[in-house]
Structure 1
Amino acid sequence: MEVSDFAFCDSSLPYSVRVKDLVDQMTLSEKVNQLGNLAYGVPRLGLPKYEWWSEALHGVSNVGPGTFFDDVVPGSTSFPTVISTTASFNESLWKKIGQAVSTEARAMFNLGRAGLTYWSPNINVVRDPRWGRAIETPGEDPFIVGRYAVNYVRGLQDVEGHENYTDLNSRPLKVSSCCKHYAAYDVDYWLGIDRTSFDARVHEQDMVETFLRPFEMCVKDGDVSSVMCSYNRVNGIPTCADPKLLNQTIRGEWDLHGYIVSDCDSIDVMVNKHKFLGDTNEDAVAQTLKAGLDLDCGIFYPNFTANAVKQGKVREGDIDKSLKYLYTVLMRLGFFDGSPNSKYKSLGKDDVCTKENIELATEAAREGIVLLKNDNDTLPLHSAKFKNLAVVGPHANATSAMIGNYAGIPCQFTSPIDGFKTYGKVNYKMGCGDVICRNETFVFPAVQAAKYADATIILAGLDLSVEAESLDRENLTLPGYQTQLINQVAQVAKGPVILVILSAGGVDISFAKDNTNIKSILWAGYPGEEGGQAIADVVFGNYNPGGRLPLTWFENDYVNMLPMTSMPLRPIDSLGYPGRTYKFYNGSTVYPFGYGLSYTQFNYKLTSTQRSIRINLNKFQHCRSIDYTDSARKPPCPGVLINDLTCDDQFSFEVEVQNVGERDGSEVVIVYSTPPEGIAASYNKQVIGFQRIFVAKGGSEKVKFDLNVCKSLGIVDYAANSLLPSGGHTITIGDSGISFPVHVYLEH
C-alpha cells in the first residue's frame, strides 16, 4: 500500500477521522514511541520523527533540541525578557512580538532549523520577590499575567483570517504555543528547598484567585494549544498526576484544544524525588496518563508505558486519546499537509533578524524602561551640554546579561557603552569585575572617571548568577561592593549621576533613592539585544519613558518577615507574616507596583461614568452570604454565585488624559477595583484594565473602558466560590487621585 493511500493522508477528511486512522494503524510499541518529546515516527506508515521541544520565550531560542543555529541561520531576534516587555503595559506590542517570533520560527522550520511547537510563555505569577524566574514572567498581577498570555499566544498561534473558527479543534496554527508551569509553581531553589521535591500547600481560594487565573485566561481567551504541568506537588499531589488539575480543569472546565505536556523529566522527579505513593515507573506513567498528561518531556512514557499496559495498570485507549490530541495539533500546524498559509511557505533566511524585527526589539526595550527618580528634571540629558560621559558599573558593557535566559543567539548586540557612544565621548570603567562584585579594586578607577565627566551613568544590578531558574535570591540587595561603588561615584562626580538598574526582581535601592547626589534612576529590566541603544535613547531624551513596574519593589527586610515557602497570599496574623504582592501587602515599599515617571506631566479628567448596575435575579439565582468584618453593615443580598449569572453585564467609563508638560509622551492608564467596604480578608485593590496611550504635548486623548461586571468586580471567598458582591465597589484610576463608586444592586 502506498503511503498516500492511507486515510490519514487524505486532506479532504476531517482531522478527527484522519487522526483516528493514523493511531489505529499503530502497534502498541509504535504508539508509546511517540509519547516522549522526541517522537520516533513510524517509518512503515511514512510518519517522520518529530522533536516537540522548542522554546520561544522572547525570541526563537536554542534551549531544547528542536531548534539550533548554524551558518545557515546564525541567530534570531532576541527581544527584551518577558518582565521587561510587560513593563510596557502595551497589549498590542506583546502580540506584535509574538507575531515576529512566530514568523522567524516558521522561517527556521522551513530551513530545517526549528520545530513548530514552542513551550512558551511562562505565565506563573510572581508571589515572592526572591523567586529566580521572575525574569521569565509577566509579574505579580494575575490579570496582567493572563492578558500577556492571551496576547503573546495569539501572536504566536493565530493564522491571519482564521482567528474565529467554528471548530476550534481544527483551527489552523502558525506555531503552537504552550502556557506553563501549571500550577502554583514559584519556588526553584531556596535555602536547600528544591522545586523537584517542594510541596506547595495552597488554599483553594488562592488557587482560583491567583495561581489558576492566568492559565484559565490563556486557555479560554488565548485558545492556547498546550499547557505544561510543573515539577512541584500541590497539596501533596504532583501536578502532572492530578486528574482534578489536568482532566477536570484544563480539559473539562476550560476545554483545551490541544495537548498537556510535562515539564522535562517530571515523571522521573515524581518517582525519585517526590516518591509519590511509592510508585514503580509503570505505576507513575499509568497515574499521569489517566490524570490527563499526554506528552512526556523525557523518556518515561516511551520506556515504561507498554509495560504498564501489559501489567493491566493503564488502558491502551488512554494512550490513543493522548496521541489523538498530539496529532491533531500537528495537523493544525500543517505538519502533514504543508503550511496553513501560503505566505508561510516562502519564509526563509531573509525573514530572520530583519531590520523591522531588530527595530521592534529596540522599541520594546524603550517602552519597558521605567523612570523611578528624576530630581530637578535632570533627565533627559542634552548631548550638546553633556559631551564627556563616564559610563561605569558591572552592566556598562552588558551583552549576554541583557538577554537573560531561554535566549537563543541574538542577531547582534548593542551594549550600553555602544549606545552612549552615539551621544557623546565615553570613558568606560567596569567598577566591578562582574555582577557579584567581590573585588573592590575596580571601584577606584570608576570613581576617578566620574570626577572629570560632564555626566556619569552607573549601570548596576543583577544577572543570571544571582536570579535564575534553579536559583532563588536570599536577599533583595545589590551584590558585593555594588552599593559602595554607586555611593562613592555619586559622592565625587562632577556632573549629574544617573543610576540604571538591570534586574528582573525588585532591588532595595533605598540608599540611592534617598541619595541627593543621585539625580535619576531608571530600571531597564533585561532589555534584550538592543538594550544599550534603548537605555541611551531614554537618557538623552530621544524617547520619553512610559513604562511601569510589573512587580512591587520591597524593602530588604521583607525577606526576614516570612519564608519563601509560605504559599498564602493574604497576611497570616498569627505568624506575623505580611501579605504578598500589592494586592495583599500594606507595608512600606521602595517602589510600588505600577510605579513609573515621565519627562512630561499628565492630568486626568473623568468624562463619563456609569455608577450603578442593577441585576434582577430569578428564582433559581440565590443570594449567598459573604464574610464581613464585625462592624460592617451587611446588605440584604450580600452576593450571588458568578456561575449562576449570565455575566453579560458591562459597565463603562471614559477618561481624558491631558499632556500638560513640554514633551510628547506615553501614559499607562491602570484601572483598579476595590470590593465593597467591610468584606473580610479581601484584597486592597486589583487591576481590572489598562491601556497605554500616546499623547502629544499640549494635547489630550480619551480612553474608554468597557468592563465586564463579573470579571472586574467578582471576588473569591475562603471556600473558593466566585461571587459577585452587592454594594459599592470603588474604581480607581492609577495614581491620578480619581476614584468613583460603582454600585451593584442584586434584586429579586
Structure 2
Amino acid sequence: MENFVLVLFCIGIGMVFNGGSLVQSAGSFPCDPSTGLNSFPFCNTSLPIGDRVKDLVGRLTLQEKVQQLVDQTTAIPRLGIPVYLWWSEALHGVSNVGHGTKFGGSIPGATSFPTVILTAASFNTSLWKEIGQVVSTEARAMYNAGQAGLTFWSPNVNIFRDPRWGRGQETPGEDPLVASLYATNYVQGLQETNGGDPNRLKVAACCKHYTAYDVDNWKGFQRYTFDAIVSQQDLEDTYDVPFKSCVLNGNVASVMCSYNKVNGIPTCADKNLLAGTIRGNWSLNGYIVSDCDSVSVYYNQQHYGATPEDAAADAINAGLDLDCGSFLGQHTEAAVNESKVTESAVDQALINTFTVLMRLGRFDGDPAQQPYGNLGPNDVCTNDNQQLALEAAREGIVLLKNDGSLPLAAKNISSLAVIGPNANVTNTMIGNYAGIPCKYTTPFQGLSAYTQTLYAPGCANVACIANDSLIAEAVQTASSADATVLIVGGDLSLEAESLDRTSLLLPGQQQQLVTQVADASKGPVVLVIMSGGPFDITFAKDDNKISGILWVGYPGEAGGAAIADVIFGAYNPGGKLPVTWYPEDFAVNVPMTNMNMRPDNTTGYPGRTYRFYTGNTVYSFGYGLSYTKFNHNLVKAPELVSLPLDACSQMKSNSCEALSVTHTKCQGLSLEVHVDVNNAGSRDGSHVLFLFSAPPSSTLETPQKQLIQFRKVHVHAGATERVLFNLDVCKDLSIVEQTGTRMLPVGSHLLHIGDLQHSVSVQISN
C-alpha cells in the first residue's frame, strides 16, 4: 500500500482539513441526536445488526451507494451520515500513514513498538496480543479525539519468502506457523471485543496482502504488474496459511487483496480467491478491501478488463467490498446500468462494510457514551505503554555471536566508542508504517546511560559512500576507548515499500568500516545490525576481533535503551531469528521472481526458507544465543501412532505412502511430549523451545522439517522448567501434497526438540 493524493470538494458534514490531509472531526458521528436524524431503524441499537444494516442500505440511492464503495466516502446529509475515512494503519503502533489518522493537538504522538520482524523474534505469543491491545487502546483514544478512524489496515502477514524483500520488516517472518500465530494474537489484541461480544469491536483489523505478495520493485519487476506463478501446493501450505488463521482463528474484520496477479489473474478480481476462499471456504465475517488503487492498477497497468466498467464489475463480482481508491466510485454506477454487475451485488458489498462499522459502534450515537468512550489523550503514550515498547525490543534482540566478552561490565569500561551510521539515529529505529513516537532513545543515548561514551558516525549514512576522513575518525575513536560498539545495517533508503534489495552485503563501505574499527580497537568489539532483512555478515562472524554480534531489527522508540540493556547485561537476550540469513551467492544466483518454495535439482534452484532451502546459511531460522546455557531432557514422548486399516482403503493409491487427512480416522488423536528445560548457567533467562517435525522422505515433496509448535519459558539460574507439547496428529504431522491436499505420511516422523531428536512412527494397524 502506498500514499496517493486526491483533491476533493467536500459537501456535507464530518470532515476537516488538517495539515493538508483529511481527518475525521471530533463530535461528528452518525445517529447524532442533536441533528434530529437518529430515529431511523439503522440507529436503533436494540435491533439486530443485520436488520439495521439492511435498513440503511435500503435507504440509499444507487448514486449514494457507489460513493460508499471507496475509502474516502461521501457524506449523506439527509440521513445524518458524515464522511468516513477508512484508511488508518496500526502495524506496530498507530501510524500516520493513511487519510484516516492525524497526529497533533491533544495527541501529538503514539507509542511506537519495534517493527514486526523484531517483535516476532521474541516468539512470545502473549506479548504479540498485549501489543495489539495497547495499540487499539491508543487508536480508540485517537478516534474519540477525532484524530483517527476505527478501521486499521494491519497487520501484514505475508510470508517473508525472500531476504531481499523491502517489506519483510513488516512481517512476522518466513514460517507459516509463526506468521499464523502472530496474526491471530495481534488481531485478537487489536479487536479485543467488549465482554467477548463479537459485535462489539474495539477497532477493526485487516490482514494483508492476500496473496503470494512479496515482490515490490526488483530489477524492473514491479508489484503493480508482477504475475506470481504459484502452485496449489505452495498456496495451501505456505502463502495462504496466515490469512486462513487470521479469518478462522483471529476472526479478523477485513482482508486486503494485493496488487499482483496470481497465476494470471489480479487478486482483487479473482472470484476463486475472494468469494471462493476468503468469503466461502473461510467464512469471513467482515469485508474485503483492495490495496490502494489496486482496481485502477489492474485495469490501467495490467490491462485486465476491456473497459473501466468491466474492471469495476470484475472486482465486485469477485467479492471485493471496498476500493482503497476512487475507481469503483467513478465506474460502478455505469457498470450497473450496463448490466455488468447487479445492484444487489453492490448492496452485498455495502452490507459487508456497514456491518463492520455497526460492530464498531459507528452508528450507535455519541462515541463518548459507548464502550471505550472514556479513552482519551491520557491513555496514549502512558508510562506502561512505553515500558512495553522497551520490553518488546529487549525480547526480540538476537545474540548471534559471543566469545564470552558479553555482557560488558560497565565498571570495567571508562570509555566506550559508539560508532556507525545507525549509532545515533531516531527515525531509522521505527521503520515502515510508523507514526510519531512518544519520544526516542537512540543507541548512543542508551549506551551513554551506562558509561562515558565517544561518538563517531564512520559514515554519513547507511549508504556509506567512500569517506576516508570519517572512517579514519572512527578508527581513532575506537583505538582510544576501552570497548567499541559498532551499529550498522540498513534503513528505509535501502529496504522499504516499493524498494527491494539486490544484494545481501552491508552497503557501501560499511564492511570496511567494521573491519578497520575492529582491528584498531584495544578492547571488546560488539557489532550491532539494525535492519529489517538479513545480511551476509560472514566476514564478521569469522573475525576474531569482533567479540559479539547482535541483530536488533528496527527496535522502535525505546530501541537504544533495549540495545544498551542487552550489551551491559541488564537484560539476558532470548530472541531467535524468524528468518534464514542467506549468503550473498543466494542473491546473485536466485531470481526473486521464482515463487516456488521447493528446490528443483534439475535447475539448481535451492528452494526457500528453512523448510525447503538446500544451500548454505549464514545463520539458520530459530538461531539465537543467551548469556546462560540451557539443557534439554526428553521426559516423555510416544514412539508409535496406529491408524485403522480402513483409512488406507480411502486412498486411490494402494501403497498407503500417505493418508488423506480428510479421510483418516485421526481426528482428535493427540500425542503428548514432555521436555525439561534446565538453566545450567548463573543468569536467569528466557528460552524458546522449538518443536520441529521431519516427515518421512517420500515422493510428496515434503519439507526437510517444519515447525509444529514452540514455547517460550523463563527459567531461573539453576532451575528446571517442564514444557508440555500436545500434538494433534492430523494437524501437526501432516504435509500438503502437489494438488493442495493435506496428507499424513506413513512411516517415521523425526521430532527435533531443541538439541534432541525423537522418532514417532505412524503405522496402519489391522
- The normalised TM-score by structure 2 is 0.93
Asked if residue 76 in structure 1 is aligned to residue 103 in structure 2, the reply is no
Asked if residue 362 in structure 1 is aligned to residue 396 in structure 2, the reply is no
Specify the code of the residue in structure 1 equivalent to 2:502.
E
**SS of alignment partner, residue 276 of structure 1:** coil
Higher mean C-alpha displacement, 702-711 vs 383-392: 702-711
Give the equivalent residue in structure 2 for 1:741.
Answer: 759
Give the equivalent residue in structure 2 for 1:191.
Answer: 219
Alignment deviations for residues 515-537 of structure 1 (CA, whole Å, 9 cap, x no partner): 00001000001000000000000
Give the equivalent residue in structure 1 for 2:511.
Answer: 483
Question: Matched residues in 2 for 1:322 and 1:702: separation?
Answer: 50
Shift of 1:640: 2.1
Asked if residue 157 in structure 1 is aligned to residue 191 in structure 2, the reply is yes
Question: Matched residues in 2 for 1:549 and 1:391: separation?
Answer: 25
2:49 aligns with one of 6, 12, 15: 15
Give the equivalent residue in structure 2 for 1:631.
Answer: none
Question: Matched residues in 2 for 1:324 and 1:645: separation?
Answer: 40
Question: Matched residues in 1 for 2:487 and 2:621: separation?
Answer: 22
Shift of 1:606: 1.1
Task: Mark the CA change 1:620 to 1:438 in structure 2 (over 3 Å): closer, same or farther.
Answer: closer
Asked if residue 89 in structure 1 is aligned to residue 109 in structure 2, the reply is no
Give the equivalent residue in structure 1 for 2:436.
Answer: 409
Question: Matched residues in 2 for 1:195 and 1:644: separation?
Answer: 41
Question: Matched residues in 2 for 1:342 and 1:2: separation?
Answer: 19
The size of the alignment, in residue pairs, is 730
Specify the code of the residue in structure 1 equivalent to 2:229.
R
Shift of 1:611: 2.8
Give the equivalent residue in structure 2 for 1:389.
Answer: 416
Specify the code of the residue in structure 2 equivalent to 1:91.
T
Specify the code of the residue in structure 2 equivalent to 1:400.
N
Specify the code of the residue in structure 1 equivalent to 2:738.
Y
Shift of 1:684: 0.6
Tell me if structure 1 keeps the 8 A contact 2:194–2:200.
no
Shift of 1:663: 0.6
Give the equivalent residue in structure 2 for 1:118.
Answer: 152
Asked if residue 668 in structure 1 is aligned to residue 688 in structure 2, the reply is yes
Aligned positions of 1:97-108 closer than 5 A: 97-108=131-142
Tell me if structure 2 keeps the 8 A contact 1:637–1:746.
no
Question: Matched residues in 1 for 2:744 and 2:700: separation?
Answer: 15
Question: Matched residues in 1 for 2:348 and 2:371: separation?
Answer: 33
**SS of alignment partner, residue 85 of structure 1:** helix
Task: For structure 1, list consecutive stretches of 5 or more residues without a partner in the other structure.
Answer: 626-633
Tell me if structure 2 keeps the 8 A contact 1:172–1:340.
no
Alignment deviations for residues 288-310 of structure 1 (CA, whole Å, 9 cap, x no partner): 10000000000011111001001
Task: Mark the CA change 1:12 to 1:675 in structure 2 (over 3 Å): closer, same or farther.
Answer: same
Give the equivalent residue in structure 2 for 1:558.
Answer: 586
Asked if residue 246 in structure 1 is aligned to residue 280 in structure 2, the reply is no
Give the equivalent residue in structure 1 for 2:465.
Answer: 438
Give the equivalent residue in structure 1 for 2:567.
Answer: 539
Aligned positions of 1:96-495 closer than 5 A: 96-162=130-196, 171-277=199-305, 279-337=306-364, 344-375=372-403, 377-440=404-467, 441-495=469-523
Question: Matched residues in 1 for 2:665 and 2:81: separation?
Answer: 48
Shift of 1:24: 0.5
Question: Matched residues in 2 for 1:392 and 1:551: separation?
Answer: 27
Give the equivalent residue in structure 1 for 2:623.
Answer: 595
Aligned positions of 1:35-46 closer than 5 A: 35-46=69-80
Question: Matched residues in 2 for 1:643 and 1:225: separation?
Answer: 32
Give the equivalent residue in structure 1 for 2:6.
Answer: none
Specify the code of the residue in structure 2 equivalent to 1:507.
F
Tell me if structure 1 keeps the 8 A contact 2:673–2:726.
yes
Task: Mark the CA change 1:617 to 1:360 in structure 2 (over 3 Å): closer, same or farther.
Answer: farther
Shift of 1:340: 11
Give the equivalent residue in structure 1 for 2:668.
Answer: 648
Give the equivalent residue in structure 2 for 1:628.
Answer: none
Aligned positions of 1:508-657 closer than 5 A: 508-616=536-644, 622-625=650-653, 636=656, 638-642=658-662, 647-657=667-677
Question: Matched residues in 2 for 1:11 and 1:432: separation?
Answer: 61
Tell me if structure 2 keeps the 8 A contact 1:621–1:640.
no
**SS of alignment partner, residue 614 of structure 2:** coil
Tell me if structure 2 keeps the 8 A contact 1:333–1:340.
no
Tell me if structure 2 keeps the 8 A contact 1:623–1:637.
no
Task: Mark the CA change 1:63 to 1:636 in structure 2 (over 3 Å): closer, same or farther.
Answer: closer
Root mean square deviation, CA, Å: 1.6
Give the equivalent residue in structure 2 for 1:686.
Answer: 706
Alignment deviations for residues 717-739 of structure 1 (CA, whole Å, 9 cap, x no partner): 112111122222111113x1x11
**SS of alignment partner, residue 410 of structure 2:** coil
Question: Matched residues in 2 for 1:94 and 1:636: separation?
Answer: 41
Tell me if structure 2 keeps the 8 A contact 1:389–1:453.
yes
Give the equivalent residue in structure 1 for 2:28.
Answer: none
Tell me if structure 2 keeps the 8 A contact 1:78–1:403.
yes
Specify the code of the residue in structure 1 equivalent to 2:47.
L
Question: Matched residues in 2 for 1:465 and 1:157: separation?
Answer: 33
Tell me if structure 1 keeps the 8 A contact 2:136–2:203.
yes
**SS of alignment partner, residue 573 of structure 1:** coil
Shift of 1:678: 3.4
Shift of 1:681: 2.1
**SS of alignment partner, residue 723 of structure 1:** strand
Alignment deviations for residues 59-108 of structure 1 (CA, whole Å, 9 cap, x no partner): 00010010000121110000000000000000000000000000000000
Task: For structure 2, list consecutive stretches of 5 or more residues without a partner in the other structure.
Answer: 1-34
Tell me if structure 2 keeps the 8 A contact 1:63–1:407.
yes
Asked if residue 3 in structure 1 is aligned to residue 37 in structure 2, the reply is yes
Alignment deviations for residues 100-144 of structure 1 (CA, whole Å, 9 cap, x no partner): 000000000010001100000000001111111111001101111
Question: Matched residues in 2 for 1:62 and 1:395: separation?
Answer: 23
